[in-house]
Structure formats: C-alpha cells, structure tokens
Amino acid sequence: MPGADRVLLLRIKTFIRWHLSDSGLTPQAIADAHSISVRYLHRLFKAEGTSVCQWIRELRLHECRRELAVRPPGSVGLGQVARRWGFTSPARFSRAFRRSYGLSPTDWLDRKRAVRAAGEMPRSGSPAARGAHRAGAPAPRRGPWLRTGPPRRARGRGSRIPRRW
C-alpha cells in the first residue's frame, strides 16, 4: 500500500474510533467526511483483508465486550451497552456477538462472571493469593483501538517531547 493511502487509512480509522458510538456511522458518511468515494474507501480496507463494515462491527463488539466484562452484575443492560456503542438494537447486537464469539452475550457474560468468581477467592497461603501467577506474565497490551476520548494534540516540529497516542 503506498504511503499516501496508508496515511489516509490511518486517518479514516482514527475517525471511525472517534465516532464508533454513532449509529449513523456508515461507509457513505465516512467517505463524505474524507472527501473520497465509497468505492475507494472499500478498496483501502480490502488491501488490509477486511471491509469497512466488518472493521466497525469488530471494534464495536470489542468495546461492548470490554464494557460488559468490567461492569458489576445488574448495573447495566445488554441493550444499553449495545446502543452506547452504536448498535441499533439489542437483537442485532446479540446476532453479531454470537456470530463473532460463538456464544450469546448473556452466556458469555455468565461464563466470564463464573470464572471471575472462582478466581476471586484464593486461599491466603496459595500462590494465587500472593500474586505468583502473574509473575511471569507480560502486562496486557493496549492498542490504539482501546483509547477513549480524542487523540492528543500533535506536538510542534521543534518539540523534544515525543508524540503519543
């Protein structure tokens, strides 16, 4: 992929991340915002082996899954989380979730909570209670798709402070 196309694709992906919760985020809206044709937009994503809609859906599902995992039981409904991340209905969210992860959101959440409940109560003298199970594990990586909020301002040319996401 040529350098200009790569830069444009990165700009488009950043735009999508910013507007991920907007249910009106469509290929046409993205193309209009970047003054390109929808066909060219699809061609950019095809070079990466995916489609625009598939990439948006995967990001939305990832964010919904992340939010559901950290929320306490009963604090928020599946439909609320789905709408917050741009899904138009809970049924559409459930179908996409099942297609992507092989389980319904409720089943996945029940399993996640059961695993968490089983792991929260280690015996006081066990290695898990002392944190030994984490000693050799690398810290989880956070990609730019997990950022919340707008990107930071670009630094000037003369700045010695490196640019950060």
Q: What is the average pLDDT score of the chain?
A: 78
- 28 CB contacts (<8 Å, ≥6 apart)? 38
Kindly state the tokens that stand for 29.
Answer: 């809206």
Tokens 């402070």 belong to residue:
161
Tell me the backbone φ, ψ of residue 10, rounded to 5 degrees. -65, -40
Domain boundaries, the chain: 3-118
In CATH, what is the architecture of 3-118?
Orthogonal Bundle (1.10)
Is the Cβ–Cβ distance between 105 and 78 less than 8 Å? yes
Q: Which residue has the tokens 């089943």?
A: 107
Q: Is the pLDDT of residue 128 over 50?
A: no
Report the sign of the C-alpha dihedral through residues 58, 147, 13, 6, in that order. negative
**Confidence (pLDDT) at 4:** 87
Instruction: Output the pLDDT for position 130.
Output: 44
